[in-house]
Amino acid sequence: MGKKTENEMEQIQKGLEQFLEREVDGVRENSRSEEEEKLRSLDAEDGEQEPDPFWEEEDSQREEDFLPEEEDFQQEEEDFSPDEEEDFLRDEEDDFRPEDGKKAFAKRERTARRAAEDGSMGKRRERKEEKKGGRAGIHDSEKKKKKHSGLKKLLVVILVLLALFFGGLYLAVGFVYDRMNYAEGESRPLKEDGVTSVLLIGSDSRTSGTEGRSDAMILITISDRTRTVHMTSLLRDMYVEIPGHEGNRLNAAYAYGGPELLMETINQNFGTEVYHYAVVNFEAFANLVDAVGGVELELTNEEVQWVNAYLNEYNELRGVPMETDYLDTSLSGNIHLNGAQALAYCRNRYIGTDFARTQRQRNVLSAVFRKLPAAVLTNPDGLINGLFPNLTTNLTQGECMQLALMAAKLMTYDIVQDSLPLDGTYSNASIRGMSVLQVDFDQNRAYLRREIYGEK
């Protein structure tokens, strides 16, 4: 009985082992085909194929996963007594059904396959995430490089444009400056306390230079403090203290010592800081108006009559017929004036006081300034050849460049017209037989410091 039972046990065990081997081989082939199909589809998505470490393991290593259960089965078998073993084998022989073993093994195989798939898929997902992260990093890096490259190109373009602009502007200023008459003087900063000051002097000279009398004196101040451009006319009949000379009319300072002494006199009496000037003669003034295409001004009929009267002298100086540029004596109101007519209009000192004459001068200059930017583009030759040969200045070429760079900023500043002395700060007087204006300089000085320098 014991020997028979032992033989039967060996047969059963061999049959079980053969069955298990067949089933393992079949399930393995099926699962391998399914897994390889899945991996091929994944590799197609990733654009590359990588071997699956699960299927690279030896078959013997994977079968060992199931051996502990057989060992447990054998251990339990050894613990039986002979009678219990015989009964157990009989029961096993009666109850054993191949399909039950097949199902159990298939279940274990599915579990193992899922674990392998999960591990393989997890690794593949990790690789995929790493690839995506790497691609994203490369993409971000390329974007940053492109952005930096774009910024560099833009910066280079801006620098080139600035170089061209400033280089062109410097050449243009140099070209114009060569046509001016430069008078060397004391070197002083163009801007003092945030204010750029230039004294514009209208000379009654018929030629270029600083000789003759100062027919008009207008202080041009550009204030960064108050964001204004002030055109302040200085009446020539003000009685002032002239350094190195006895008191006299303001325009006498120009006759005594030219522009330098005139500026020193103005600074001493009014507390200003002006050290640069530009002197223009009759012809320069008329050419400037013509270069901008003339000006539109409001004239009374009486002013029209005086324009024709002053034209007589100017036409004689030019050597042209006496009635050249005459206005219709019936005109009044808004009238277009050319250069010669505007000059005659400004020189009129017989209608109103000297205040009215300086007001007419500022009216012409304001109209010219408004049209000047367009004239620079449309008629540069007229400006260069008509104005600058008849202009004398102590401004250097570098200082003229500074003024040119201010042009855009000045378009945003308010233009203010003034005249000194202020109303209520002077009285008519006769000193040494001269009819003059006796001035309260303290009030006028305080006004300039407040309006131009922004002081309280």
Whether residue 92 has pLDDT greater than 50: no
In this model, does residue 2 exceed pLDDT 90? no
| pLDDT of the residue at 70 | 45
Mean pLDDT of the 109-132 span:
60
Buried b (16+ CB within 10 A) or exposed e, 128-164: eeeeeeeeeeeeeeeeeeeeeeeeeeeeeeeeeeeee
E strands of 317-421, at which residues?
333-337, 391-393, 414-420
326 secondary structure, DSSP code: P
* Per-residue pLDDT band at 294 (split at 50, 70, 90): very high
- pLDDT value of residue 195: 92
pLDDT tens-digit readout, 417-445: 889 999 999 999 999 999 999 999 999 99
Domains of the chain: 2-143 (no CATH), 182-451 (3.40.630.190)
Given a cut of 80, is residue 164 above it in pLDDT? Answer: no
pLDDT at 64: 46
More confident residue, 186 or 89: 186
Q: What pLDDT score does 383 carry?
A: 87
pLDDT value, residue 372: 87
Q: What is the pLDDT of residue 65?
A: 46
CA 199 to chain centre: 34
pLDDT higher than threshold 70 for residue 283: yes
CB 337, CB 297: distance < 8 Å:
yes
pLDDT digits (tens, 9 = 90+) for 353-368: 788 888 899 899 889 9
Percent of the chain residues topping a pLDDT of 90: 37
What per-residue confidence (pLDDT) applies to 80?
46
| Rounded distance between C-alpha atoms, residue 383 and residue 27, angstroms | 102
The 3-state DSSP class for residue 309 equals helix
What's the pLDDT band for 74 if we cut at 50, 70, 90?
very low
Q: What is the mean pLDDT of residues 47-67?
A: 45
Q: Which residues contact 229 (CB under 8 A, 6 or more apart)?
A: 220, 221, 222, 223, 410, 413, 414, 415, 416
Please state, in angstroms and rounded to a whole number, the distance separating the CA atoms of residues 308 and 327: 7
| Distance, CA of 363 to CA of 182 (rounded, Å) | 28
Letter for the amino acid at 228? T
- 124 or 311, higher pLDDT: 311
- Provide the 8-state DSSP code for 238: B
CA–CA gap between residue 280 and residue 200 (Å, rounded): 8
pLDDT of 116 > 60? The answer is no
* φ/ψ (deg, to 5) at 305: -60, -40
As beta bridge partners, residue 239 has: 249
Comparison of pLDDT for 441 and 151, the residue scoring more: 441
Q: Give the phi and the psi of residue 245 in degrees, each rounded to 5.
A: -140, 165
- Write out the two tokens for 143: 């974007």
pLDDT band at 54 (very low <50, low <70, confident <90, very high): very low
Task: State yes or no: pLDDT of 102 exceeds 50.
Answer: yes
- Rounded to an integer, the average pLDDT of 24-34 is 54
* More confident of the two residues 176 and 129: 176
**pLDDT greater at residue 223 or residue 114:** 223
Cis check: omega of the bond before 189, within 30 degrees of 0: no
Q: Which of 61-65, 124-128, 433-437 has the lowest mean pLDDT?
A: 61-65
Q: Which residues of 353-368 are buried (b: 16+ CB within 10 A; e: fewer)?
A: eeeebbebbbbbbebb
Q: Are 273 and 222 in contact (CB under 8 A)?
A: no
Contact indicator for 293, 379 with CB cutoff of 8 Å: yes
Q: What is the DSSP string of 191-221?
A: EETTEEEEEEEEE--SSSSS-S-EEEEEEEE
Q: Indicate the pLDDT class of residue 154, thresholds 50, 70 and 90.
A: confident
pLDDT band at residue 455, thresholds of 50, 70 and 90? confident
Residue 280: name the closest of 383, 173, 146, 134 by CA. Answer: 383
Distance separating alpha carbons of residues 135 and 32, to the nearest angstrom: 32
pLDDT tier for residue 13 given thresholds of 50, 70 and 90: low
455 CB-side CA count, 13 A: 12
> If you average pLDDT over every residue of the chain, what do you get?
77
pTM over 0.75? The answer is no
- Residues 367-400 pLDDT 10s: 998 898 888 889 988 888 888 898 999 999 989 8
Q: Quick one: pLDDT at residue 317?
A: 85
Q: What is the pLDDT of residues 220-257, one digit of tens each?
A: 999 998 999 999 999 999 999 999 999 999 999 999 99
For the segment 323-347, the average pLDDT, to the nearest whole number, is 95
Helix axes 441-451, 250-270, angle to 10 degrees: 60
Percent residues over pLDDT 70 in the chain: 63
